[in-house]
Amino acid sequence: MKTKRRHDRFLVGYILLRVMGKKAVAKMTSFDLIVVLILGTTITEPIVTKRLGLASYYSVVIALVYLVISKLSLDNRFKKYLVTSPTVIVRNGDIDEKGLRKVGISVENLLGLLREKGYTSPSQLALVTVEEEGTLSCIPHSDQRPIQPSDFQMVPKPTFIPIPLIVDGEIVHHNLKFLQQDEGWFGKMLKPHNFTLNDVKRITLATYNEQGLLDVDTENPQNRDQGTYNYKPGNDN
């Protein structure tokens, strides 16, 4: 009975977190984080008090309140009360000391965060903001940003996304169907790589590329004879 109740608690918690939506911990706002902490405490409370029904009730209430506030934060009438605006900490290459104090970042920390973004000095940046979830957004000056095709009046062709046809030794049949092909065609595509459909289990990943060919990655690396180019850290064989 105790094991069943424990499983019920985990099931309730899992369902509620799924309903509340997907968001990485690093992307959570202060509100998101406190709701998750309260929800976790509420779900685990029956471990001590054994009041599963009450804990489930409060967990559902917390999740519903979270969903309501999340929806209201998308409404312009309530957004200004529920959503924190980005804080500017660098403007036109100049550090905004007031903004730094507001978000609690020292100049040394700022320089470290900018290095993580690939910049060595605030002077390279037109705007740096700290977003609501705590991440840093950097917009460089026009002469510091990467060159774009539009700078040369070039229009690149659309990006082609490789289509997985084998993942972890299993054929992805719905992608074959998307390509309007069958296993017979796929078997022919595998032949140049010295594989047949019977060897699918040995293939980690096979993708259909822009040239209409297969890129195949197997469980046995093919580059063992490349000497120093085959180096990898650690003591693995």
Q: Which of 44-58, 94-108, 173-187, 193-207 has the lowest mean pLDDT?
A: 44-58
User: Residue 175 corresponds to which amino acid?
Assistant: N
Residue 194 DSSP symbol: T
Q: Is residue 44 over pLDDT 70?
A: no
Name the strand (E) or helix (H) holding 205: strand 203-208
Q: Chain-wide mean pLDDT for the chain?
A: 79
CB atoms within 10 A of CB 100: 19
Cβ pair 216, 193 in contact under 8 A: yes
What pLDDT sits at residue 30? 67
Q: What is the pLDDT of residues 23-38, one digit of tens each?
A: 544 556 666 767 777 7
What pLDDT, on the 0 to 100 scale, is given for residue 1? 47
218 pLDDT band, cuts 50/70/90, is confident
Output the pTM of the full model: 0.56
The mean pLDDT value for 30-59 works out to 65
CA distances in angstroms from 43 to 12, 50, 51, 64, 221, listed in the order given: 8, 11, 10, 15, 46
Whether the Cβ atoms of residue 126 and residue 92 lie closer than 8 Å to each other: yes
Surface-to-core class of residue 8, CB atoms within 10 Å of its CB (0-12 exposed, 13-18 middle, 19+ buried): middle
Query: Residue 129: which residues within 8 A CB-CB, separation 6 or more?
Result: 86, 87, 88, 89, 136, 137
> pLDDT: is 68 or 224 the higher one?
68
* Bigger pLDDT: 28 vs 196: 196
The tokens for 58 are: 């409060």
Q: 203-216 pLDDT, tens per residue?
A: 999 999 999 999 99
Please indicate whether residue 79 or residue 127 has the higher confidence score (pLDDT).
Answer: 127
| pLDDT tens per residue, range 137-194 | 999 998 888 888 888 888 888 889 999 999 999 999 999 999 999 999 999 999 999 9
Give the tokens for residue 206.
């096979």
DSSP per-residue string spanning 127-182: EEEE-TTS-EEEEE-TTTSPP-GGGGT--PPPPPPPEEEEETTEE-HHHHHHTT--
Q: Is 214 helix (H, G, I), strand (E, B) or coil?
A: strand
- Cβ count near 199 (within 10 Å): 14
Lookup: tokens for 208? 């259909």
State the Cα angle at 75 between 69 and 77, rounded to 5°: 105
Share of the chain above pLDDT 70, in %: 70
